[in-house]
Structure 1
């Protein structure tokens, strides 16, 4: 039953992202551009680039409340030379991500966090195109830094798109992770989706407290990479 609630809420989440007003997307893009442009790393700092949609962007929140900023706080508390850059954009699709990845890669990442594709699924787009777009994004990142570590966040789509489509969609992310030797996070909103106390009034997007939990989920997968250095 809880899984069903999660899927329904995820449907609303990404549908809301894909139909957000143009002005909201423009504002988010400006925030993203500002973050990248003002986040020039020191020479010794290594870069973690978070590339995704409204979850990464911190929809309706200040960027310092979104989970990438919380990750930065954890990094700083350990005295590690890593800088987290938030390149999230509300409403982003895999095709949109592909079109802007070269601009974002003006800063070369050492760790690349990919959180895209769900908006494709909610629109029922051909999954071979989604896969190709995500692979092209990864290829662009690897071309910039062949030694980059990649983390991929898996997503879900509602069953009304058909069982075959839903299953194929869910299999897309672990397959992409395996073929690129990437780390796979099965569900980014674990412990957040379905809890009204952890989502905004729309019942869709995480509150600051929700982002704290998302950050903990990400940290479990990210921290071992940082400790390898």
Structure 2
């Protein structure tokens, strides 16, 4: 999710004003704040509403506020709100917290916990989490041991990500089916199937060449 960036002095004033927001239910506050922020670009009106909803325990608001604070480099506050959302099982909160912990942003680096959280988000169908987890199995990020990168879990996440058109996952499957890898046996037909999908996504013909525009 892309967040409009807020300068720190401005954000501090907005957060301080959050107590002035009129009463409404957390879900209503969140919906109003979200629309203000993303549809109207009105940060001043949006932040008190989002903050009030988050402080009332509404997980989607906590995750969204965590993302805004993360993008604006209020890292410790972002971690706190992400964690509140993650503790309620919110996939966006799990992914956001896991992503920050994976690089030690706002808290000490903890790749084991980061992997656990990102996997929880992926299990809920969070697309970014699925792709990040697939990439971790492909490249060994998140300190995934080599032996785990060749088994059923690696295959599962890489295939799910490939089915969602993540090209690095597709490329990993092509190589695995051509050469044998990821715990898969070589399979020329499967390699060709995934190669065709890769070409299609990149706008290439069956020979891997850029398609020519039709003559007028």
Bin of the TM-score, shorter chain as denominator length: under 0.3
Give the number of the structure whose residues are more often strand, by fraction. 1
- TM-score, scaled to structure 2: 0.26
Give the structure with higher Rg (CA): 2
Kindly indicate which of the two structures has a greater share of residues assigned to helix: 2
Q: Which has the higher contact order (CA 8 A, sep 6+)?
A: 1
